[in-house]
Structure 1
Amino acid sequence: MPETSLSAQEFLAIADHTLLAPGTTPDELDTFISGAASLGVARVCVSPSLLPAASHGREIVTVVGFPSGAQHVEMKVAETARAVADGADEIDMVVNRGLVRAGDWAAVEREIRFVRAACFGRVLKVIIESAALSDEEIVGACRAAEAAGADFVKTSTGFDPAGGASVHAVRLMAATVGGKLGIKASGGIRTAAAVRELWAAGATRFGVSGTAAILAEWDGAGSSAGSVSGGY
């Protein structure tokens, strides 16, 4: 558990300000990214079909195999290569949950390795959809991601009905990777209290869409159980 509190500026440095709503137009995207620059976040996470886009000085994160993760690995590799060509700095891939639930760890690792090769030199995060997995499956997915050379494991897409980030999942993921990978918490993180809970549990990056609202109530936020809810 971190020994010091997380400041608003430190949060901005580890927040992926997120816009993944279907139907977003290029003009809406540009407004969003310019607004992210005004907020002071380091990076934005947006849909791959909207790239390339003016970054306004932000790093660009995009998603692959989103949101189900059920695509063939060849499709994820092609999507990754296109995202890199279109200027993505970081890739958040959704793992094939069926392979995870089947315990086919060799296949899970193989899939991640192929995507890793397609975005070599970029940051790769593996979305495991933790709310839909057992503890044993979470541990196995994290170990496969580490073995395949990923940089982060990520809790959730924010689009699954099972829910988003939880303190329990983040704590388990952090204990499993032991600092060798980062932990991105995403899905249902809507308050500064939730950010602080998840950071204390071991999160090192956050996927958030309501960044401005979180910042607005930062100084008055304490810690309250149950402040993380489902949804992005």
Structure 2
Amino acid sequence: MSIAKMIDHSLLRPELTLDDIKRGCEIAARREVASVCVRPSDVELAAAALAGTGVLVGTVAGFPHGDTRTAIKAAETRALVEAGADEIDMVLHIGRLRDGDTGYVLDDIAAVVAAAGGRVVKVILENAYLTDEEKTLGCRLTEQAGAHFVKTSTGFAPGGATLADIQLMRAAVSPHVQVKAAGGVRSLDTLLTLHEAGATRFGATATEAILDDLAARERGELPAATTSAADGGY
């Protein structure tokens, strides 16, 4: 799989205008990434802009705190699928996971999986707030509920994806469940390191910088730097 097809180009920041969303979709189409991940209100726009490009439309449910009632998360998911979403990145209920309320967390995820009607569901744990034991539990409940990915972060919490978390999450789930790294994936070197550890999808706003660096290396050019523009969330 190409590096581009591992990237979900993130368009989730609250200040983005419709023109920003359109430009982001143009970048996603031109760079042939896996998907865009847009705010719920932008799904129709993204679906129209990306029709026929092979780039999927992703969006979020219960974002960014995860504390929306389960019925609302499920209803939101159904509405987003109807609007054209191909993938759903949901935030589990962080507080209930920390409480050890496994029944609530499991049912919450399962309701979104059912509402998605077979579309890919990625479950955001928001690892910055969790112990390793809680991360492992969240991964196992995600798999039990039938979701397709475990994901590190929203990008709006104090911390994002780390190598240790990717290794922990990869070990906590079966091979058919994938791992998505998000939050702080701002350079090609970071992406490659996390991919080696087991991540197969990456949320990024620095998509062009990452892919430009890759192209330069493939041409045999010395990379300018391993850091790129700040993520600004996600």
TM-score by length of 1: 0.89
Residue equivalent to 1:211: 207
Output the amino acid matched with 2:145.
Answer: A
Of 66, 69, 81, the residue aligned with 1:84 is 81
Structure with the higher helix share, 1 or 2: 2
- 1:174 equivalenced with 2:170 (yes/no): yes
Q: Structure 1: which amino acid aligns with 2:88?
A: I
Task: State whether structure 2 residue 128 is matched by structure 1 residue 136.
Answer: no
SS at match of 1:52: helix
- Residue 160 of structure 2 corresponds to 164
Tell me how far 1:229 sits from its aligned partner: 8.9
Using the TM superposition, name which of 188-197 and 36-45 deviates more. 36-45
Change (3 A) 1:76 1:180: same
Where in structure 2 are the equivalents of 1:37-186 lying within 5 Å? Answer: 37-53=29-45, 54-56=48-50, 57=53, 58-161=55-158, 163-186=159-182
Once the two structures are superposed, residues 99-156 of structure 1 have per-residue CA deviations (whole angstroms, 9 ceiling, x without a partner) of 1101111111110011111002100000001122100000000000000000000000
Aligned length: 218
* 1:230 shift after superposition: 9.0
Helix, strand or coil at the partner of 1:51: helix
Is the 1:105–1:144 contact (alpha carbons within 8 Å) kept by the matching residues of 2? yes
Check if 1:34 corresponds to 2:34.
no
RMSD across aligned positions (CA): 1.8
Provide the TM-score with structure 2 as the length reference.
0.88
Q: Tell me the distance in 1 between the aligned counterparts of 2:209 and 2:231.
A: 15
Q: Which residue of 2 aligns with 1:4?
A: none
Cα deviation, residue 216, structure 1: 1.9
1:201 pairs with 2:193 = no
* Rounded Cα–Cα distance in structure 1 between residues aligned with 2:182 and 2:169: 13
Match of 1:16 in 2: 8
Task: Tell me the alpha carbon deviations over residues 61-111 of structure 1, each in whole angstroms, 9 at most, x when there is no partner.
Answer: 000011011111111111111110110000000000001101111111110
* Alignment check: 8 A CA contact 1:164 1:229 kept: no
1:129 aligned partner, one-letter code:
E
Q: Does 1:190 align with 2:195?
A: no
- Say if 1:229 and 1:52 are closer, same or farther in 2 by CA, change over 3 A: closer
2:25 aligned partner, one-letter code: I
The structure 1 segments of at least 4 consecutive aligned residues displaced by more than 6 Å after TM superposition are none
Return 5+ residue gaps in structure 1 as ranges. 1-8
